[in-house]
A and B are shown apart, each in its own frame.
Chain A
Amino acid sequence: MSDFLYEKFLEDHRVYHAARAFWFRQIKQMLPNQDSLVSYLSERFENGKLFYDGNPIFNAINRRTGKAVRIVQESPREFEKFYASFNSESLHQIEINGRQQFILEKVIVLTLTRESLEKSKEELRGWLRG
């Protein structure tokens, strides 16, 4: 049995949508109840079609803290087991308390397994809470 979750997400749009929903649930449940997540990047072309490439598979900002997370899910076929993360001051901006601020991003690029999921959640818990 494969170690990879949602392994065929790039081949089957139903699997892709399920993977997106999975990420949203995983990250939403890390937040304190009063915090809300808002998408800050487009995952669609101008004609409305999703990128369907996992890049990103999930993006959201915690408006209270101004901290954002962007998850890029890579193809297991190409990347095998892979995990990378970095922090970045994005060019994108958000208004917090009446001031425009550059968004601070935690970017995680991975192939999705139980192990990489746990590692990403460990990184994101503290980050998103501020």
Chain B
Amino acid sequence: MHRGRLQSQGGGLNDSKPWAQPVPLKHKTSIGMSHALEAMTNSKEQKLRAAAHAKSRAFMDAAKAAGGVGPTSKTYMVKGDPHRRVDIEVRNGKAFE
């Protein structure tokens, strides 16, 4: 199985978009999940986290260009804020190909 999750954490948020499936998570699907995660919050939080979400998607783009990625964790903090963050966790298998 291919498993993982995208998360928006800190600042009172604990939002998550997980996946668990028999085939690797496609890049296009992950970008859609990232936008859906971003849309779960109010406009103030979306503005604060915009750069962190954009960086997480840039990593997905880089991973696609490089054939995907295996188990790893990425954390994108909001600049100047020690709590708010966006995470990528690829637990098993492969993602973003």
Residues of A in contact (CB 8 Å), total 27
Whether A78 pairs with B69 at a CB distance below 8 angstroms is: no
Whether B68 pairs with A41 at a CB distance below 8 angstroms is: no
Whether A72 pairs with B66 at a CB distance below 8 angstroms is: no
B45-92 interface with A by 8 A CB criterion: 59, 62-63, 66-77, 79-80, 82-83, 85, 89, 91
Q: Is A5 an interface residue (CB 8 A)?
A: no
Whether B73 pairs with A47 at a CB distance below 8 angstroms is: no
What separation, in Å, do the CA atoms of A20 and B89 have in the docked complex?
Answer: 21
Whether B72 pairs with A47 at a CB distance below 8 angstroms is: no
10 A–B contacts from the bound complex (CB under 8 Å): A43-B72, A45-B67, A45-B69, A46-B97, A47-B66, A51-B59, A72-B77, A79-B77, A84-B85, A91-B3
